[in-house]
Each structure stands twice: as structure tokens, then as C-alpha cells.
């Protein structure tokens, strides 16, 4: 495997962290490489706990994803992508006596290559979810938080991804079909998940029963999905200046815990006021590809989602079997991928390995036939010469199986198998089998 130049420039970071681990190995308490510590570098001889008591929590994490296509695509390749995250949470009550106030800051940096693009798999959803959004530094979170009524009313404002609060879901799997907020997988040009953070605000009201409702407003700006802009400006805190509208999501949810086992159930919808062209129709409601007329413009875009996750067995503190179901749909007029459904399970606590887990999931992402019809009318075929793949109008089916081995509490090693049937929603694209390895470390 050959790493990209961007990855080589940061190859010294693991060595530096190993040196820090050795330098801060404590005489007492959880030390570096302690199997029971949530951090690889331990408690820094008590410094980390002392800072937390004063309202300062630090977060340094690393995630890498290795992928090799054993089947499918134009060549057998191995590709590597990774992400570093440096963050801090400040409890302003502990620091300054500002009751219910907090500040969160997170900076991230991505490197590597995308196997799907390089091997020309034709897939709609990434086989390395960590890849993308400019492979550069991002100011991923810069948000002020204020709570009232003992936390029942919660307000956030600043730079923050929409998927951090709405349709939020974990990223235990390596395929993007099963990772993060689903709307961002379908309409990622205006619903922005991590690491992209538009200016936004969100307010949430919780009930004692575990029910809640929240609404937000997130800046829509084409600059955020422009790779060239990102490389120059993604780390900066200012407003890009190209705002075209606002994404407004609304979500109602319930967080029951039958028998002490947690569950999360969500129902949401969104509307974006940013204008967007129709995928097929012209201003006269005919075919824009055939007529040559400008595309019909829509004044807004919309969609809805449902998410359910429930621990079924095991202790309240964790472990056992957890199942999930996620589904989302976006408007067919403007969305190239217009619906997605994913379901799966995770089981933690295999014999003799209390922290290890196994996960399995199946999903389908639908490619909008209106886009394919317009493409065929323009080019006379569904073949894309630049990617050497076919444009689809059906579902891309994905299955993934992983095993999560935790040699230390702070380290996850997840070998995985991914099978992609009809990549890009086209039966003309060869099915793909991807061998992956996802590694995450909390320092």
C-alpha cells in the first residue's frame, strides 16, 4: 500500500503521540496504554481529571479506514483514508459561574484516497465514510450552548454540522450507508454532516418522560461543498458570504429505557429555502436535455426521516444485542439519490471478550431515474467515460459485517466485509466485494 503525499506529511504524528505517552506515563492512576483507561495516553498523571474538575475536557482522536476491492471496479486497489480530531468542551458554569452555559470547539483534518473513485466501483455511497469534503483542515464545531430549567430547554448557536443534532446516528460501520445522519447521505450538497459546519442555531425542549422536540436553522451555502474553497477557508470561523437559503429541520423523539436498556426513536422532516434546478424538467415542464431550455427552478427542497435504535438484551450499563432501523426520503425533483433505508444489529460482549462486538447491516440507496433519463438524453447512453461506470436508476444494495476488537478500552480495530450489489443503482456495474479495516483511537 502506498500512502498519498498528504498522509506522509502527517506520518510523524503517531510517533509524537507515542513519545507523549512515554513522557506522561504516571506513577499512580490510569497511565498510558492502561487497558482500563478510556484514553491511550491515560490521565496525564492526574492532569486530565484536574482540568475536567475545573470545566475543561479535551478530546484527541484518530480514525483510519483501509479498503481493498477483491471484486468489482476497473483494477484491484488498496486505499487508505484517515482523520485527526482535536476538540475541547468548556463548562462555563465551573469556569466562570455562568449557569447552564458551555462552549464546544472541534478541529478536524482528513487525508487519503477514495477506493470507490480510484477503482471506479461506480458506488453511490462511500466504502470509506471518513473520506471526503476537501481532505483538509476544518473548523468542525464552534458552538455556544445554554440550558435552562435544569436542562429541559437547551439552545445551541455557532458553527455546527446539521447531523450532530438532527437524525444523528453513530459511525460504527465503515460504509457510509450505515454511518451518520441519513439526510446528509442523500442531499449532502445542503444537509451537511461532519466535518462541515455551517453557521446555525438549534433549540430543544425535553420532557421528563424522555420525549423531546427540536428545531434548527442551518446556513445553505454552495461554498461549503466546493473543494477549492474548503482548502483555503474551511478552518476559518467567518461567514463565507454566499448564503442562498436556510435548512430548517424539525425532529420529535423519544428516549425510553425499558428494563434500563436505552432506546432512541426519531421522526423528522426538513425544508431548505435554497433554490435548486430540476433534474429533468425545463422552464416549460418538458425535457431540458431535449429542448435546450434552462432547467426549471424550485424555490425549496424537502424530505423526511425516521430512526429507531433499541438495546434488547444485556445489562443497562451496556452490552447485549442492539438493533436499528433508519429510513429517509428526499424530493425527487432535485435529489439525485432520493431515498435510503438501512437496518442492522450489533452484539457486544462475546464469550470472554466483554468489550468486543460484532455488527451486521443491510441497506439500499435509490438513484433517481429522472437524473438518469436526463443524462441519457444528453449523451445518448448511460455510460460515463470519465468514471467508466453506468448511471443507474435503481437501488444500490449494501451489506456489511464487522468484528470490533478492543485490545485496549481506548482502541477499536474493526475488520469488515462489504458487498455492494448494483453499485450506483445500475445492474450494468459489476458487484463489488470490499475488504476493510477501520481503526479508531482515543488519545
Could you tell me how many residues make up the chain?
Answer: 443
Q: Which three cell numbers stand for residue 141?
A: 464545531
Cα dist from 102 to 79, 152, 199, 218, 425, whole Å:
39, 15, 17, 20, 44
Residue 239's pLDDT is what?
A: 76
> Are 101 and 93 a contacting pair, CB within 8 Å?
yes
Residue 2 has a pLDDT of 44
Query: Dihedral of the CA atoms 279, 283, 287, 292 (nearest 10)?
Result: -100
149, 195 Cβ separation under 8 angstroms = no
Which run of H or of E encompasses 280?
strand 276-282
Q: Assign 6 to helix, strand or coil.
A: helix
Secondary structure class of 136 (helix, strand, coil): coil
User: Which residues on adjacent β-strands are paired with residue 245?
Assistant: 220
- Do the Cβ atoms of 206 and 251 come closer than 8 Å? no
Residue with cell 449557569: 99
Cα 95 to Cα 91: distance, rounded to the nearest angstrom: 6
pLDDT at residue 318 in the model: 79
Which residues are registered as beta bridge partners of 341? 327, 364
Handedness of CA 190, 192, 195, 198 (dihedral sign): positive
Distance CA 358, CA 412 (A): 12
Q: Using CB atoms within 10 Å of the CB of residue 279, give its burial: 0 to 12 exposed, 13 to 18 middle, 19+ buried.
A: buried
β-partners of residue 84 are: 62, 109
* DSSP three-state, residue 24: coil
User: Residue 302: its pLDDT value, please?
Assistant: 97
Residue in the structure block whose three cell numbers are 485496549? 408
Residue keyed to cell 451496556? 318
- The pLDDT, as a whole number, for residue 316 is 81
Handedness of CA 65, 70, 71, 75 (dihedral sign): positive
pLDDT given at position 18: 45
Under DSSP, the state recorded for 124 is S
DSSP calls for 31-77: -TT-TT-SSTTTTTTTHHHHHHHTTEEEEEEEEEEEEEEEESSSS--
For residue 222, give the 3-state DSSP assignment: helix
Compute the radius of gyration of the chain from its Cα atoms.
23
C-alpha to C-alpha distance for 99 and 89, rounded to whole angstroms: 15
* pLDDT at residue number 371: 96
Residue 377, pLDDT score:
94
- CATH code for residues 54-442: 2.40.160.180
Residues 59 and 155: their CA atoms lie apart, in Å, by 22
Burial class (CB in 10 A: 0-12, 13-18, 19+), 295: middle
Instruction: Identify the pLDDT of residue 351.
Output: 74
The answer to whether the predicted template modeling score (pTM) of the entire model surpasses 0.95 is no
Q: Domain ranges for the chain, please list them.
A: 54-442
Mind listing the pLDDT tens digit for each residue in 62-121?
999 999 999 999 999 999 999 999 999 999 999 899 999 999 999 999 999 999 999 999
Give the C-alpha distances (Å, rounded to integers) separating 219 from 86, 239, 375: 24, 9, 30
Give per-residue burial for 81-112: e unless 16+ CB within 10 Å, then b: bbbbbebbbbbbeeeeeeebbbbbbbbbbbbb
Q: pLDDT value at position 176?
A: 98
The shares of helix, strand and coil residues in the chain, as percent rounded to the nearest 5, are 20, 45, 35
pLDDT of residue 30: 65
What is the enclosing helix (H) or strand (E) of 8? helix 5-9
Ranges of residues in the chain with a pLDDT under 70 are 1-30
Amino acid at each position: 500500500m502506498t500512502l498519498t503525499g498528504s498522509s506522509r506529511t502527517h506520518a510523524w504524528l503517531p510517533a509524537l503521540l507515542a513519545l507523549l505517552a512515554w513522557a506522561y506515563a504516571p506513577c499512580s492512576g490510569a497511565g498510558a496504554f492502561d487497558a482500563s483507561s478510556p484514553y491511550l495516553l491515560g490521565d496525564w498523571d492526574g492532569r486530565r481529571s484536574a482540568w475536567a474538575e475545573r470545566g475543561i475536557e479535551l478530546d484527541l482522536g484518530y480514525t483510519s479506514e483501509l479498503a481493498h476491492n477483491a471484486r468489482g471496479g476497473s483494477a484491484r486497489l488498496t486505499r487508505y483514508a484517515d482523520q485527526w480530531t482535536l476538540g475541547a468542551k468548556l463548562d462555563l458554569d465551573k469556569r466562570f459561574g455562568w449557569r447552564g452555559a458551555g462552549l464546544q470547539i472541534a478541529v478536524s483534518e482528513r487525508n487519503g484516497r477514495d477506493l470507490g473513485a480510484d477503482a471506479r466501483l461506480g458506488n453511490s455511497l462511500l466504502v470509506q465514510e471518513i473520506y471526503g469534503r476537501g481532505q483538509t483542515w476544518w473548523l468542525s464545531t464552534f458552538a455556544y450552548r445554554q440550558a435552562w430549567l435544569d436542562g429541559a430547554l437547551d439552545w445551541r448557536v455557532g458553527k455546527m454540522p446539521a447531523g450532530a443534532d438532527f437524525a444523528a446516528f453513530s459511525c460504527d460501520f465503515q460504509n457510509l450507508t450505515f454511518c451518520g445522519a441519513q439526510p446528509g447521505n442523500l442531499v449532502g450538497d445542503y444537509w451537511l454532516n461532519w466535518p462541515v459546519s455551517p453557521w446555525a442555531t438549534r433549540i430543544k425542549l425535553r420532557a421528563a418522560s424522555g420525549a423531546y422536540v427540536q428545531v434548527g436553522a442551518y446556513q445553505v451555502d454552495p461554498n461549503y461543498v466546493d473543494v477549492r474553497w474548503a482548502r483555503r477557508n474551511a478552518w476559518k470561523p467567518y461567514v463565507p458570504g454566499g448564503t442562498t437559503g436556510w435548512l430548517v429541520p424539525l425532529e420529535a423523539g423519544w428516549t425510553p429505557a425499558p428494563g434500563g436498556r436505552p432506546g432512541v426513536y426519531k421522526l423528522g422532516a426538513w425544508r431548505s429555502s435554497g433554490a435548486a434546478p430540476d433534474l429533468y424538467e425545463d422552464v416549460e415542464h418538458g425535457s431540458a436535455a431535449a429542448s435546450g431550455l434552462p432547467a426549471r427552478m424550485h424555490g425549496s427542497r424537502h424530505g423526511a426521516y425516521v430512526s429507531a435504535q433499541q438495546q434488547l438484551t444485556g445489562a443497562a450499563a451496556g452490552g447485549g444485542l442492539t438493533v436499528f432501523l433508519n429510513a429517509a426520503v428526499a424530493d425527487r425533483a432535485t435529489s439525485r439519490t432520493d431515498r435510503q433505508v438501512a437496518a442492522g444489529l450489533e452484539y457486544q460482549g462475546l464469550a470472554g471478550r466483554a468489550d468486543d462486538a460484532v455488527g451486521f447491516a443491510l441497506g439500499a440507496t435509490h438513484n433517481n431515474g429522472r437524473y438518469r433519463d436526463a443524462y441519457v438524453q444528453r449523451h445518448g447512453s448511460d455510460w460515463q467515460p470519465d468514471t467508466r461506470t453506468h448511471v443507474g436508476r435503481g437501488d444500490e444494495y449494501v451489506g456489511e459485517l464487522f468484528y470490533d476488537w478492543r485490545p485496549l478500552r481506548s482502541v477499536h480495530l474493526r475488520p469488515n466485509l462489504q458487498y455492494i450489489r448494483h453499485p450506483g443503482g445500475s445492474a450494468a456495474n459489476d458487484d463489488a466485494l470490499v475488504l476493510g479495516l477501520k481503526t479508531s483511537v482515543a488519545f
